[in-house]
Structure 1
Amino acid sequence: MSHKSSSLKQLALQKFKKNFWGVFSFCFIILVGIISVFAYAFAPDNSQYANQMHLAIHSKKPGFKVQMLTIPTQLESTQSGFDKLFFGNTNADTEIPITKYNIQGNTLTYKEYASDGLEGVEKSMSLNAFSNKTIQNVIKEKNFLFGTDKYGRDLLSRVLVGARISFFIGFVAVFISLIVGIFMGSIAGYFGGKMDAFIMWIINVTWSIPTLLLVIAITLALGKGFWQVFIAVGLTMWVEVARVVRGQIISAKEMQYVTAAKALGFNNFRIITKHILPNIMAPVIVISAANFAAAILIESGLSFLGIGAQPPMASWGAMIKDHYNYIILGKPYLAIIPGLCIMSLVMAFMLIGNALRDALDVKG
């Protein structure tokens, strides 16, 4: 039996490897996952939430370059290297965009950057503030590959840090939906009768409520926040899993191996978890991939409506909300870039779902 199971797994893996778009999507998802975990290591702006603002250079086009004066913070940092790597630098240095500078003795004179043909303010400061750093270390040309948003923040850094929310909400939401859905679907399908009717009534009531409306209601009940959105999305996606599991168990419990397990005196919990569920997980895996994509879209919609991830937290949906007006103001990239990120990640999960469906299809 184990040899047959192993052979089926190998056959499914071979079929999956032959699917170009499935393998490509898998690699893309792994890449986004690595970027999400180590976002602050890749982001040019490693401040917490990539929230270093430069209002003088707001809404600049991709590839914009400017000289940046970095003034070291005078506060002592108690952050560990681990904390900085995964949660950003909470005590970042101050950055000032400048157009030119001059050094006379121990005094640095610089002119702040001003756009739209305006003249920047000229200021002076002592070189002692730079803690024996050379001028080459404190004044560098900074390149904004994706440009800057309406607050002058590095758009590339915001996109990289924002990937964390869109990526991890899929994992949390699917995890919650699998736990609740498999539990409810297993009870309804295996025991049937009044238990099945009651659970199906809950499923139908939950399904009749529009998903976004239900998420909004749960979010308002739990409060606005990072984890509240994750839980809210997960609690609205379990019904699909429950219906699939219920239908599969109804057909599987009539199989001979289930009858044999009952004859051997195994309890219901063992029969469901050890015998039935391992044999019906193929469609559950496929629907989980689709739920990943749905969770990303729902979170983006919530952030667009202002009840998802809250500022200054970076989120692709919130970035579109902040800049959708710029589409008609000649700077559409501010909304298009995060929109393309959402589209590409959702497409990857849909493609890998299709590839898994084909690979796990026994009849194929």
Structure 2
Amino acid sequence: MARIASKPSVSRPPSYYIRQRLLRNKPAMAGLAIILLAVLVALGGYALMPDSTPNANNGLVQVQKKSPGFKATILKLARPNAVVQDVNPLEFVLSGKPTSFSELPVESVHFSGDSLQVQPLRSNNALADQVQVLALKDVLANSKAYTNQQQMAEAVRQQHLEERTFWLGTDKAGRDVLSRLILGTRISLGIGFVAVLISLVLGITIGALGGYFGGWVDKLMLFLMTVVWSVPSIMLVIAISLALDSKGVWVAFVAVGLTMWVEVARVVRGQILSLKEKTYIEAAQVLGVSQFKIIYHHLLPNIIGPLIVIATANFASAILVEAGLSFLGLGVQPPAPSWGMMVNEGFQLIGARAGLYLVLLPSVCISLLVLAFNLLGNGLRDAYDPKIPLTNV
């Protein structure tokens, strides 16, 4: 009787099975796709924004509080004494570039000889402005480069008249909402990254010291965690802002990070309390391995899974905390755009037609990004659970 050859078993590292469980989790993959898209938008920054001025703060009073899809003709007027320094591509992506033109939304434009008759766009609840007569040479940045009126008029048509579409409308200051939402993505992801980084550094250090050494060190660390845990995050942010005498973006980043390390420390402490009794830790102690090496080379690598899961959860929590603080005026300060601050601006316009869009759009962005991190965190939690079977591998 012929002997049936059995399929040889393949030995694979645990990371392979973790990766396979994660890849087969469709909600987690959807969350990861949203996060990657948000990262690309944040990295692109000003290169993707219709309004590439610093902080997307180019406000036009005539087009304030417009609904999504609003279109307007913009006349760019040269600023005779404006000095705009050239920026390299990296500086442009990171910080934008100030414009060398002043912009005027217009309803109609009529060329007449060496002049330009302009009917400004009527702003909300305002009477139509008088027709303005502008000299072509005053509109052009370098009028001496043109030899006749026909060339000057053609240059104005091609270079100084723009049909602009505000895809997501404008806010109460006439700023492009789409541009501010894109820049707000950078702030939300940035504050989440900094907050998670601070929470991991403080939480791992304090939790590892308390869990490994025990005794009075553990009691001291537990007391510190309990005190910080009992202080509301808003009060802690206010205290940090007063201590640093500032309410800038980086103060908000640091303040949110300092409110989130306690949960990391508690998880690390509990994991190390159970791991330090293992045989391989006792063997390392007998062999004279330094306590620093035991903690950072033998204990912490074995709790990397729970740390990754809690980091994704803290990322989502940091975004929510920042949005709440900015809504209250304690987080990111104007003119830097923040999703929470945009919700506040829309909330102040409740009752107006534009108020709904100004509240809904940033709220949807906050919800999607937080949901994406929660889905990814749930997927990572399941991926690191060895009890979940993995078939057909």
Q: Same fold (TM over 0.5)?
A: yes
Does 2:54 match 1:45?
A: no
Partner of 1:121: 130
Does 2:269 match 1:251?
A: no
Rg larger for: 2
Q: Per the alignment, do residues 200 and 51 of structure 1 end up closer, same or farther by CA in structure 2, a change over 3 Å counting?
A: same
Partner of 1:362: 386
SS in 2 for 1:70: strand
Note the C-alpha offset of 1:78. Answer: 2.0
SS in 2 for 1:140: strand
Q: Per the alignment, do residues 92 and 336 of structure 1 end up closer, same or farther by CA in structure 2, a change over 3 Å counting?
A: farther
Note the C-alpha offset of 1:301. Answer: 1.0
Does 2:327 match 1:304?
A: yes
Out of 247, 265, 269, the position equivalent to 2:292 is: 269
SS in 2 for 1:67: strand
- Taking the TM superposition and a 5 Å limit, the aligned residue runs for 1:127-276 are 127-128=136-137, 129-130=139-140, 131=142, 133-222=155-244, 223-276=246-299
Q: Summarize deviations over 1:139-161 as a string: whole Å, max 9, x none.
A: 12110000110111111111111
Q: Could you tell me whether the CA contact under 8 Å between 1:108 and 1:124 is conserved in 2?
A: yes
SS in 2 for 1:212: helix
Note the C-alpha offset of 1:227. Answer: 0.4
Note the C-alpha offset of 1:359. Answer: 0.4
Q: Supply the distance in 1 between the matched residues of 2:74 and 2:254 (Cα, whole angstroms).
A: 41
Note the C-alpha offset of 1:137. Answer: 2.2
Q: Supply the distance in 1 between the matched residues of 2:351 and 2:282 (Cα, whole angstroms).
A: 66
Partner of 2:16: 10
What code does the residue aligned with 2:320 have?
Answer: L
Q: Summarize deviations over 1:285-309 as a string: whole Å, max 9, x none.
A: 1111111011111111111111211
Q: Supply the distance in 2 between the matched residues of 1:50 and 1:121 (Cα, whole angstroms).
A: 29
Q: Could you tell me whether the CA contact under 8 Å between 1:327 and 1:333 is conserved in 2?
A: no
Q: Summarize deviations over 1:289-330 as a string: whole Å, max 9, x none.
A: 111011111111111111211111111111111110323333
Partner of 1:344: 368
Partner of 1:80: 87
SS in 2 for 1:152: coil
Deviates more, 1:173-182 or 1:79-88: 79-88
Note the C-alpha offset of 1:73. Answer: 4.0
Deviates more, 1:162-171 or 1:215-224: 215-224
Q: Supply the distance in 2 between the matched residues of 1:228 and 1:329 (Cα, whole angstroms).
A: 33
CA RMSD of aligned residues (A): 1.6
Deviates more, 1:166-175 or 1:99-108: 99-108
Out of 25, 34, 38, the position equivalent to 1:32 is: 38
SS in 1 for 2:71: strand
Q: Could you tell me whether the CA contact under 8 Å between 1:73 and 1:91 is conserved in 2?
A: no
Gapped runs of 5+ residues in structure 2? 1-9, 144-154, 389-393
Note the C-alpha offset of 1:117. Answer: 6.5
Deviates more, 1:97-106 or 1:86-95: 86-95
Q: Could you tell me whether the CA contact under 8 Å between 1:47 and 1:92 is conserved in 2?
A: no
Q: Supply the distance in 2 between the matched residues of 1:93 and 1:217 (Cα, whole angstroms).
A: 42
Does 2:77 match 1:54?
A: no
Q: Summarize deviations over 1:188-212 as a string: whole Å, max 9, x none.
A: 0000000000010000111111223
Gapped runs of 5+ residues in structure 1? none
SS in 1 for 2:349: helix
What code does the residue aligned with 1:65 have?
Answer: K
Note the C-alpha offset of 1:79. Answer: 3.6
Q: Could you tell me whether the CA contact under 8 Å between 2:83 and 2:100 is conserved in 1?
A: no
Q: Summarize deviations over 1:236-270 as a string: whole Å, max 9, x none.
A: 11100000000000001111121222222210111
Paired positions, count: 361
What code does the residue aligned with 1:40 have?
Answer: Y
